[in-house]
Structures are given as structure tokens and as C-alpha cells.
Amino acid sequence: MSDLISKVTTRDMVLDDVDKVIEIENQCFPIPWSPYAFRCEILDNNFANYLVLINKEKPEEILGYAGMWVILDEAHVTNIAIAPNHRGKRLGEFLLLSLIARALTKGATAITLEVRVSNTPALKLYEKIGFTKEGIRKGYYQDNNEDGIIMWKKLV
């Protein structure tokens, strides 16, 4: 396994990151968010918290990103992605744990997300970190009408 995990950190996403984030978004999702959507999240959404995962030795390289909304005491993961060429190195776990740490600093006592029923790697990661399956959103994903699994994790 790569020792890249020891060389990564997260920081807040800024507008200058959007083009690199969109490259990853387009590689990872059949219906990707637009650059405009990310810019609006960064500039206009007071509930939004977005992180980028970077290599400390190459801080200009974005390896992944994650976002969430924190409303009152609940956090909701909006998206999380690792560049395909960096998967399998525990970076998704590092990024999700960083997002959870941020949620705690914002006063969240629970965190929720949706995941495709077919996304086995993500499901395994979420369960490893302590998320539990709490429901199904029928036909949640518009590209193929796939169901989404609703998952929750208590933080405190």
C-alpha cells in the first residue's frame, strides 16, 4: 500500500479549486455537478462546508473533495469523491473522517448521507466508519432510477 496517506491533509475548498474539483467530479459521477453549483455552494450557502484533499508535498494537486451542509445539529454529506487514480489508498476514509471532524466543530450531533445501492466500496467504507442503513429512497438517482440507501451516524 502507498504511503501517500501519511502525506495528505485537507483544507477548505476555494473558488480557485473548482476547475480541478470538476475534473474529478466528471470522472466519478454520471450526472456531475456543474462548476456553477460548486461556486454557489462556496459563495452563497451559509450551511455548506467543502474540503479538498491534497498532498502536502504537492499542494496544487487535488486528490479528492467532500462537502456537507450543517443545519442546526445535523450534517448531511452532499458529495465525496477521490480521483480514480488515487483510490484504494484509504484516502476516502481519511477525507470522510476529516469531514466528520468538521461537522463536530460546527455542532453536529449526527451525520447523514445517501449512497447508491450498487456502490459497494462506498457502502463498505460508510459501515466501517459506523454509518448504519436507515432507509431507502426509491428511484433517487436520476440517471438510472437507482435506489439510494439513507445512512446515519450519531456523532455524540
Confidence of residue 143 (pLDDT cuts 50, 70, 90): confident
Instruction: For 84-140, write each residue's pLDDT tens digit.
Output: 999 999 999 999 999 999 999 999 999 999 999 999 999 999 999 999 999 999 999
Catalytic residue among 126, 127, 134, 141: 126
Q: What is the pLDDT of residue 142?
A: 84
Q: Which has more pLDDT, 25 or 30?
A: 25
Once rounded to an integer, what is the mean pLDDT over residues 15-39?
97
Please write the tens of the pLDDT for every residue from 52-96. Answer: 999 999 999 999 999 999 999 999 999 999 999 999 999 999 999
3-state SS, one letter per residue, for the chain: CCHHHHHEEEEECCHHHHHHHHHHHHHHCCCCCCHHHHHHHHHHCCCEEEEEEEECCEEEEEEEEEEEEEECCEEEEEEEEECHHHCCCCHHHHHHHHHHHHHHHCCCCEEEEEEECCCHHHHHHHHHHCCEEEEEEEEEECCCCEEEEEEEEECC
46: pLDDT strictly greater than 70: yes
The whole domain housing 88 covers 3-154
Q: What is the reported pLDDT for 2?
A: 59
Q: Is 126 among the catalytic positions? A: yes
- Domain count for the chain, please give it: 1
CATH classification at residue 16: 3.40.630.30
Q: Is the entire prediction scored with pTM above 0.85?
A: yes
**Which percentage of the chain shows pLDDT scores above 90?**
93
Annotated catalytic residue, options 74, 114, 140, 146: 114
Characterize 43-68 residue by residue with b for buried, 16 or more Cβ atoms within 10 angstroms of its Cβ, and e for exposed.
eeeeebbbbbbbbeeeeeebbbbbbb
Which of 89, 90, 93, 156 has the alpha carbon at shortest distance from 126? Answer: 93
How far apart (Å, rounded) are the C-alpha atoms in residues 72 and 45? 14
In this structure, the chain runs to a length of 156
- 141 in active site: no
